[in-house]
Structure 1
Amino acid sequence: MNADTATGESLRDRKRRQTRERIAEAAFTLFDERGFGEVTVDDIAALAEVGRTTFFRYFGDKEEVVFAQESDTLRELESGDGPALPDLAAALAESRRLVVALCAEARHAAYARLVDKHPELADRHARKLRRYGDRLEQHLLARGTPRSAAVLASQIALACYRTAWRLAGDDADALAREADAAFDAVAEAGPAELS
């Protein structure tokens, strides 16, 4: 059995994924070195060693590169796989796991730095965050969480993420730590303080 068969990914799919990743890596390298506004699509294509047409086959513009990172964590939200989450406590535990994992991803810190430095990216970030909350809610519902608990858990998760974003400040690498601490604070508050 070859590696492609074992992973279910064809050679063509693997090459496409690698090209997309190479373009994204080149873009983030250039954004970090020069700043978002100073980088062109041609710059990204040149560093990634692809043509301009190839760039546009994968991304509509350079802004899309910033927001196109569909991580394993976000893909996990698309499936309803896993044990049942029958109540708010279970839904919050799952939400915490997913939010902290997302914040801990290597490119997420670079993404956070870009959004903080470039206000033109803030609106798209806000829309992406709302979409993430909706996906999390649907994920929890698919795992058997009652609707009221799924909505509340997803909104608490978004609040913890936003809190982490604000507290991490210039230290985007602190996002996961701050997200974890925000969930701790919610858990310590307990039902009495939340009512």
Structure 2
Amino acid sequence: MREVLAQAAFQLFLERGFERTTVDDIVARAGVGRRSFFRYFPSKEDVVFPDHERCLAEMTEFLAAVGDEDPVGAVCDAARIVLRMYAADPEFSVQRYRLTREVPGLRTYELSVVRRYEQTLAGHLRGRFGTDRDGELRAEVIAASVVAAHNNGLRLWLRSGGAGDPEEAVDHALDLVRGVWGQPAGPSPAREKPALPATAGASGVTAGSGENEVIVMVAAKGAPMWRVVQQIEAAVGEG
């Protein structure tokens, strides 16, 4: 019934346009009642994306079953589940792509669906990277990168009218993501402190002047702050 309603809706969208098609028109074309429509779709917009709930559930199930050894590879593989959904029905996928380009409201709705995929991927990565600041950041950035790469390859295929192999462009884009993010980020290398030519004074103020700058380091243990500031000002003035 879900497929029957989606097919009836798209026939009408193509004939009349999205805005001029009502739910009553859709159920009349499908030969069912309004209750049947709302049993499967909360709104007319949802009938344009009839397969995303199932796809999100499949993605969540897949990620719950994968191991911990390659989290970036896992989310890239999860994104391919979405690709296979589109590739399973090229004609419908191309029609939907063209329709969402024409109707701003559908484009907004589609972006909300894409965001749900991104959140699902980020949630999986957060569980692997930890909840510290960098782990959270890496999860969000990698998830966004995976979604952007997947969508770039997918839209190339959709813009071609569904010609050729959709996996080729998507695999190329996802391989780029894996190349960038596949290895866990290590700690930042320690930076060598520049040598300061001047010697420390009694208050622990060290000053060294370069061609266009003055470097001042304060190590004034127990010295009054006003004295430290005074000697810093004197050092800067001399430099």
Q: Work out whether the TM-score is over 0.5.
A: yes
The CA distance in 1 between the partners of 2:39 and 2:107, in whole Å, is 25
1:58 aligns with 2:47: no
Q: What is the TM-score of this pair, normalised by structure 2?
A: 0.58
CA radius of gyration, larger in: 2
1:116 aligns with 2:82: no
> Could you tell me which residue of structure 1 aligns to residue 22 of structure 2?
40
Structure number with the higher strand fraction is 2
The CA distance in 2 between the partners of 1:138 and 1:172, in whole Å, is 33
Distance change in 2, residues 1:51/1:39 (3 Å): same
Distance change in 2, residues 1:62/1:154 (3 Å): same
Output aligned runs, 1:166-177, within 5 Å. Answer: 167-168=156-157, 170-171=159-160, 173=162, 176-177=167-168
Q: Give 1:129 shift.
A: 1.0
Q: Is the 8 A contact 1:77 1:139 kept in 2?
A: no
Q: What is the TM-score of this pair, normalised by structure 1?
A: 0.69
Question: Deviation digits for residues 6-25 of structure 1, max 9, x if unmatched?
Answer: xxxxxxxxxxxxx2222122
> Could you tell me which residue of structure 2 aligns to residue 126 of structure 1?
111
1:162 aligns with 2:147: no
Structure number with the higher helix fraction is 1
The CA distance in 2 between the partners of 1:93 and 1:126, in whole Å, is 19
Q: Give 1:101 shift.
A: 2.2
Higher relative contact order (CA 8 A, sep 6+): 1
The CA distance in 2 between the partners of 1:176 and 1:117, in whole Å, is 26
The CA distance in 1 between the partners of 2:96 and 2:83, in whole Å, is 15
The CA distance in 2 between the partners of 1:78 and 1:34, in whole Å, is 37
Question: Deviation digits for residues 94-118 of structure 1, max 9, x if unmatched?
Answer: 2443343244242443332221121
Which blocks of at least 5 consecutive residues in structure 2 are unaligned?
Answer: 183-239
Which blocks of at least 5 consecutive residues in structure 1 are unaligned?
Answer: 1-18
State which of 172, 175, 178 in structure 2 corresponds to 1:181.
Answer: 172
